[in-house]
A and B are shown apart, each in its own frame.
Chain A
Amino acid sequence: MNIHEYQGKEIFRKYGVAVPAGFVARTPDEAAEAAARLGTPVVVVKSQIHAGGRGKGTVYLATNRNEVAIQGGVKVVKPELARETAQKLLGNILVTIQTGPEGKKVGTLLVEEGMKIVRELYVAVMMDRAKSMDLIMVSTEGGVEIEEVAAHQPEKIVREYVDPRVGFQGFQARKLSYALGLEGDAFKNGVKFFQALYKAYKEMDCSIAEINPLVVTDDNRVLALDAKLNFDDNALFRHPEVMAMRDVAEEDPLEVEASKSNLNYVKLDGNVGCMVNGAGLAMATMDIIKLAGGEPANFLDVGGGANVETVRNGFRIILSDPNVKAILINIFGGIVRCDRVANGVIEAAKSMDIRVPIIVRLAGTNAVEAREILAASGLNLIPAEGLKDAAAKVTQAIS
């Protein structure tokens, strides 16, 4: 799960991870008030959306998507211009390199103190899968894409692994601070920063905590100028306060709908919908669609308990996507009985107006009975015998 920058910084504050002074604003008046309270010569007005590249993005009018409201979703302005800037950002659509052309609506701003930045650095905490250990990565090359640094200047990235038996140690925080060339008060602040950051990451069950840039100011403060926090979905039950930070406006409406029905659904851009049991087989089915000349419209794992209700919800969600020209159902019955799935498909298909071809491939437990049930239903369902046959029938359906 993702959260907004301002929410990430709230968590950081709680753990003593230094962040710039700032206030949340949802109206131009609140932005003006925040700027006045900060009292710095300039303030930074930052659009809060779940996507990167905000500074270089473009804000379009919500009422007229062809008209630019303002260039850049992050603005450094004099305090007296905060209200006017907020007016141009709030309620409008920010398009960045990460949002896609549809962009995201700006509903919230973070107004922060302006400061003199002397250095831009990078730090991230994540789990290294190859070692099953947490990893802290720092780089002197902040403010740019870390993948670029890794590709062209790998020596500029310093890694420190955390031994799970003893946790992150003081000498490691010092090593990282030295590696970044921090000195004097900035060194002390850096050590404190890394220790607090790791504690926040660990206790909040984050899957990543990335700060780019991590800045050093002219008065030797070490601050998280940005905050990207993702959380381990499996641990959210321990953090109701994080769950409350979920912003469904930032998610695809079909994915929100699917999550209400406990379906594991990811919306994609293709033309062939699919409904599958099991994540691995679902990915493999998407691959089959591609090999058949189509493009998958979604990932959908109906899980181990596929019944009439899950099949119906799955259909409804797939069919809400106007790009879908055909549907491939691929169920390998292990514990799931294919005859039950077949009945689910029939009931769901009867109760809905389905105008696209549906290819059904059922294998495993009670597959023979299931095929008989489908054949006797009188519905226009296209049975497939194996994955090869299913692929050929998908090709036929979309050509």
Chain B
Amino acid sequence: MAVLVDKTTRVIVQGITGHEGSFHTQQMKEYGTPVVGGVTPGKGGLLHEGTPVFNSVGDAVRETGANTSIIFVPAVAAGDAIMEAADAGIRLVICITEGIPVNDMMKAWTYIQGKGTRLIGPNCPGIITPGIGKIGIMPGFIFSPGRVGLISRSGTLTYEAVNQLTQLGLGQSTAIGIGGDPIIGTRHIDAVKLFNEDPETDAIVLIGEIGGTDEEDAARYIRDHVKKPVVGFIAGQTAPPGRRMGHAGAIISGGKGTAAEKVKTMKECGIHVADSPAVIGETMKRVLGK
């Protein structure tokens, strides 16, 4: 079984009655994801497009046996929603919401430590195990089942890489969009550990971008612990220092977090780094000797 999404997954949608939540609930159901309920405070008891709505995550868990939550609530309330999910015993929380204040995320991140909850995101496209289920907003049709695990901070760049893999006949075990914010629940290194332990994943694609040092941390872990081949790419080689490149976390500050530094460390740690985003798939194919 691939990572995070499996046959026992039961999903609730926090913010199900909102525009985004509503749309993607339908998309997820169409992909075959077991969405068992939704949460919108004050709208408990409603049936929203066929899905029962609850007032709180606690109610939803009690009534549906949900173990996974995807969050679409607006940025101002998203940190609170993450904490509510952890408090209700949800073991996997995927937060799609973009634009959460850093201080709110610091609170939420601190709160969930030690509670046995894994957080993916925020500001991420979610996760997908092709053919099994998607808990996210990615276009399902570009993915194909297979044995390559994919980790990325970005949405559309993930789609680009997946598309390349699929076209070359390389299916994916699971793709994890870890998110573009400075504080995220699951970092590159954590996602690498999951894939390293997954018997159904043979190789890993690790896509990073400027800002922070998470890619370097993951690279050193890979050097010391991972035997599976890893292909990498870092976006933002041409980004100027001190400017935020769209993602809140994509900024070179104090000389730290440059693409060049990340690529250098990754290469030193034995990762096959694609020099161009156009050859991520090809590089994987070559590395696998296919």
Instruction: List residues of chain A with CB under 8 Å of any chain B CB.
Output: 127, 129-130, 132-134, 146-147, 150, 164-165, 202, 205, 207, 232-235, 237-238, 264, 266, 268, 270, 276-291, 295-296, 299, 301, 332-335, 363-365, 386-388, 391
Contacts and interface: CB of A to CB of B under 8 A. Distances in A.
Nearest to A98: B242
A278 B213 contact: no
Chain B interface size band reads: 35 or more
B59 to A, nearest CB: 28
Contacts of A202: 103
B6 interface: no
A46 to B, nearest CB: 22
Given A238-B101, A299-B245, 5 more contacts: A129-B183, A232-B248, A363-B160, A364-B159, A386-B164
A278 to B, nearest CB: 3
A284 B277 contact: yes
B235 A334 contact: no
A147 B240 contact: no
Contacts of A287: 235-238, 276-277
B287 to A, nearest CB: 18
B132 interface: no
A333 B246 CA distance: 18
B154 A391 contact: no
Contacts of B80: none
A280 B155 contact: yes
B180 interface: yes
Given A129-B213, A279-B247, A234 B100 contact: yes
A268 B239 CA distance: 9
B76 to A, nearest CB: 7
Interface in B59-93: 75-76
B250 A283 contact: yes
Contacts, number: 175
Nearest to A299: B245
Interface in B150-171: 152-160, 163-164
A283 B102 contact: no
Contacts of A335: 23, 137, 139
Given A268-B240, A282-B245, A388 B278 contact: yes
A280 B101 contact: no
A290 B277 CA distance: 12
B107 interface: yes
A334 B138 contact: yes
A126 to B, nearest CB: 8
Contacts of B99: 234
Of listed A164, A268, A332, residue having the most chain B CB within 10 A:
A332
Contacts of A299: 239, 243, 245-246
Interface in B218-262: 233, 235-240, 243-250, 254-255
A147 B255 contact: yes
Given A129-B212, A286-B239, A387-B278, A301 B246 contact: yes
Contact of B101 (A235, A283, A363): A235
A334 B107 contact: no
Contact of A391 (B106, B152, B164, B278): B278
A237 B76 CA distance: 9
Of listed B104, B156, B214, residue having the most chain A CB within 10 A:
B156
A279 B246 CA distance: 5
A255 to B, nearest CB: 10
A332 B156 contact: yes
28 contacts: A127-B182, A130-B213, A132-B109, A147-B254, A232-B101, A233-B248, A234-B101, A277-B156, A279-B209, A280-B155, A280-B158, A280-B250, A281-B277, A282-B246, A283-B157, A283-B236, A286-B236, A287-B236, A287-B276, A289-B238, A291-B275, A299-B243, A332-B156, A332-B160, A365-B139, A365-B141, A387-B276, A388-B278
B35 interface: no
Interface in B177-225: 180, 182-183, 207, 209-214, 217
A250 B192 CA distance: 42
Contacts of B103: 202, 205, 232, 235
